[in-house]
């Protein structure tokens, strides 16, 4: 259990300890030429550091109905905790620092050129830690590795390289499938257009698709322009190496959140010429719980996620946190924080940042990263929706599909088999040239959105072009609807209508079910009546 205490008032009156954190460039220079690496992490490192008796009262906190308590060891959330721990590790490993090992707060790195020397160095480190009564966490220790990640870089016998995570969010940007997705990508590129030579000419094939009434047709010239812009966005034209010198420019972290897509951020640094150049990109998709966050909580999630992701650059150095959500300007003054928000504020306590608000129209870089399209694929085993059950409905058994049995059921359906055969033929026949049934014709009206994946017929969602839906055969639809009818009488489902989408044509129905949703419909409202009395609780 990790208790969370709000120490913001205490931190405000605390004299900040300006102990310097290891500079990344100095650290990388120290390990140059190494071939073998070991990384170690201390077990709850802060709790292994005692608090002076005369200062323990300052850490006091109250627990309802239990009274007041105070810490005898260093708690999380104090502004000087990282600096204090850094001083401790420097004192314990004084003779080994920069020669055989590096320490970043509670992360240790040991390196060498051969195994025998490496084992000797490890024994020295273990001896020093043992003398200081410091314990390691075995689950987070990795010994005798040929390649490790440390301070945002990849270290190996081949040399030192930048961690690909910094640029992979742009390199792996999926090909846009709609004008909306293309707008997001061009918004990111447009923010840094002044660094990209001939930007307008390169992006011309893409910008033509965003004009009014333009038909979205993705051809070779669009793909070439798309790949070229991705390459330029991850090149030295736009990106720069971080500078940790005393007179270096300020780091700027732009964050943003989108409830429909995810959260994103761009870490930049002001250059000597005053320009902001990218240090790293970041984005993260939301899980189902996070999609339900209110706007302020979602924006705060983005702030916490990416400050922690880029902590190697930001800890121990004042930086600018930029957001387009005005409520975050009072982030340091949130009152009565509890639960998740309190834990987040505790994580942010050691960082020194000022918050700057700017309008959304000027926040295009982070906004684009938060709206990066996410591709969901129909799995070979079980689709995501069928593999999950919402909380509170675990007793209800729903129809499950795998790619294999759904493809088989579609092939047994005369109408869907006809559509699948037509979709696989070249050229694709027009519906007017075939003597199809009304249902087959109805499905064929969506021919531009139909695809075959693992021999399963899927249709693209009209509202979310990056998502696909299963086309269910009539037999499967009948089984599902029987389940709904049976469960309506025993369950109250507070679920949305769009979880079950049907369309009709000439009196025949077929069902399109989103992969990400559990099949469900909202039952009709029940008439009001007086509840009957029972002899025992929960016996009604």
**pLDDT averaged over 10-residue windows placed end to end, the chain, 540 residues:** 77 81 73 86 86 90 86 86 86 85 83 92 92 90 88 76 71 86 87 82 89 86 90 82 80 87 88 86 85 88 91 84 84 72 83 87 82 58 37 40 72 84 69 67 80 79 66 70 45 31 30 33 41 50
Q: With H, G, I as helix, E, B as strand and everything else as coil, classify residue 7.
A: coil
Residues 278 and 151 in one domain: no
| Cβ partners under 8 Å of residue 345, min gap 6 | 6, 8, 77, 331, 334, 337
Residues 38 and 157 in one domain: yes
Query: 289: domain CATH number?
Result: 3.30.420.10
Residues 141 and 171 in one domain: no
| Cβ partners under 8 Å of residue 396, min gap 6 | 389, 483, 487, 491
User: Which pLDDT score, from 0 to 100, does residue 491 have?
Assistant: 34
Residues 135 and 266 in one domain: no
Assess if residue 30 is contained within a domain. yes
Assess if residue 449 is contained within a domain. yes
Which residue among 233, 264, 279 closes a domain? 233
Assess if residue 530 is contained within a domain. no
Residues 152 and 15 in one domain: yes
Local structure of residue 500 (DSSP, 8 states)? S
User: Which pLDDT score, from 0 to 100, does residue 493 have?
Assistant: 32
Residues 110 and 184 in one domain: no
Domain count, the chain: 4
Assess if residue 331 is contained within a domain. yes
Residues 174 and 149 in one domain: no
Residues 349 and 493 in one domain: no
Assess if residue 393 is contained within a domain. no
Question: How many whole angstroms separate alpha carbon 368 and alpha carbon 207?
Answer: 16
- Per the DSSP assignment, residues forming a β-bridge with 142 are 39
Local structure of residue 523 (DSSP, 8 states)? P
Say if CB 313 and CB 251 are below 8 A apart. yes
Q: Which residues form the domain of 175?
A: 167-233
Computed on alpha carbons and rounded to an integer, the radius of gyration of the chain in Å comes to 29
Assess if residue 45 is contained within a domain. yes
Assess if residue 522 is contained within a domain. no
Residues 24 and 149 in one domain: yes
Q: Please give the backbone phi and psi of residue 113, each rounded to the nearest 5 degrees, phi first.
A: -100, -15
Beta strands in 343-399 (DSSP E): 353-357
User: Which pLDDT score, from 0 to 100, does residue 79 have?
Assistant: 84
Question: How far is CA 536 from its chain centroid?
Answer: 47
User: Which pLDDT score, from 0 to 100, does residue 76 have?
Assistant: 83
pTM of the full structure:
0.55
Inter-axis angle of helices 179-191 and 220-233, nearest 10: 40
Q: How many CB atoms lie within 10 A of CB 368?
A: 26
Q: Closest Cα partner for 80 from 4, 7, 5, 2?
A: 7
Tokens read off for 341: 């928000």
Q: Closest Cα partner for 80 from 108, 105, 53?
A: 105
Tokens read off for 343: 């834990």
Residues 49 and 145 in one domain: yes
Q: How many CB atoms lie within 10 A of CB 400?
A: 12
Token pair 């306590």 in the structure block, residue: 349
| Cβ partners under 8 Å of residue 253, min gap 6 | 265, 266, 267, 268, 306, 307, 310, 314, 319, 320, 321, 322, 353
Residues 35 and 153 in one domain: yes
Angle made by CA atoms 278, 281, 287, in degrees to the nearest 5? 160
Which residue among 131, 162, 193 closes a domain? 162
Beta strands in 180-271 (DSSP E): 251-258, 262-270
Which residue among 315, 345, 370 closes a domain? 370
User: Which pLDDT score, from 0 to 100, does residue 426 have?
Assistant: 61
Question: How many whole angstroms separate alpha carbon 252 and alpha carbon 358?
Answer: 13
Assess if residue 138 is contained within a domain. yes
Residues 142 and 23 in one domain: yes
């Amino acid at each position: 259990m990790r208790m969370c205490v709000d120490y913001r008032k205490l931190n405000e009156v605390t004299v900040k300890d300006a102990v310097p954190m290891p500079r990344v460039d100095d650290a990388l220079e120290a390990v140059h030429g190494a071939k073998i690496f070991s990384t170690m992490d201390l077990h709850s490192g802060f709790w292994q550091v005692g608090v002076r008796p005369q200062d323990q009262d300052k850490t006091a906190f109250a627990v309802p109905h239990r009274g007041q308590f105070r810490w005898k060891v260093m708690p999380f959330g104090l502004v000087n905790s990282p600096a204090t721990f850094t001083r401790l590790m420097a004192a314990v490993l004084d003779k080994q620092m920069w020669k055989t090992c590096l320490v970043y707060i509670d992360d240790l790195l040991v390196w060498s050129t051969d195994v025998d020397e490496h084992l000797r160095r490890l024994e020295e480190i273990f001896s020093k830690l043992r003398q200081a009564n410091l314990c390691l966490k075995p689950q987070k220790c990795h010994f005798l590795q040929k390649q490790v990640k440390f301070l945002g870089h990849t270290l190996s016998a081949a040399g030192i390289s930048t961690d690909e995570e910094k640029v992979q969010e742009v390199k792996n940007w999926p090909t846009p499938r709609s004008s909306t997705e293309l707008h997001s990508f061009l918004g990111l590129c447009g923010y840094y257009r002044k660094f990209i030579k001939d930007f307008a000419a390169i992006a011309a094939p893409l910008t033509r698709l965003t004009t009014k009434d333009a038909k979205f047709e993705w051809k070779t010239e669009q793909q070439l322009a798309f790949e070229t812009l991705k390459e330029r966005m991850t090149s030295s034209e736009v990106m720069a190496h971080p500078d940790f010198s005393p007179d270096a420019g300020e780091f700027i972290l732009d964050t943003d959140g989108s409830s429909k897509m995810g959260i994103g951020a761009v870490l930049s640094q002001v250059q000597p010429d005053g320009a902001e150049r990218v240090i790293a990109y970041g984005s993260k998709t939301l899980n189902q719980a996070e999609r339900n966050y209110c706007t302020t909580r979602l924006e705060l999630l983005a702030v916490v996620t990416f400050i922690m992701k880029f902590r190697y650059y930001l800890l121990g150095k004042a930086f600018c946190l930029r957001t387009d959500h005005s409520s975050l300007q009072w982030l340091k003054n949130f009152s009565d924080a509890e639960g998740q928000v309190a834990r987040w504020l505790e994580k942010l306590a050691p960082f020194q940042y000022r918050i700057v608000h700017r309008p959304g129209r000027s926040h295009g870089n982070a906004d684009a990263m938060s709206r990066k399209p996410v591709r969901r694929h129909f799995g070979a085993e079980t689709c995501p929706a069928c593999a999950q059950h919402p909380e509170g409905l675990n007793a209800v058994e729903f129809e499950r599909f795998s790619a294999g049995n759904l493809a088989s059921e579609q092939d047994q359906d005369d109408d869907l088999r006809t559509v699948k055969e037509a979709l696989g033929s070249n050229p694709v026949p027009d519906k007017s040239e075939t003597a199809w049934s009304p249902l087959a014709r109805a499905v064929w009206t969506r021919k531009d959105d139909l695809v075959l994946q693992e021999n399963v017929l899927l249709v693209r969602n009209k509202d979310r072009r990056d998502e696909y839906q299963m086309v269910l055969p009539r037999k499967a639809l009948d089984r599902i609807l029987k389940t709904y009818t049976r469960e309506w009488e025993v369950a109250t489902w507070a679920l949305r209508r769009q979880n079950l989408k049907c369309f009709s044509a000439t009196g025949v129905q077929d069902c399109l079910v989103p992969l990400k949703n559990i099949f469900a419909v909202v039952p009709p409202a029940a008439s009001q009546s007086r509840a009957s009395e029972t002899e025992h609780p929960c016996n009604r």
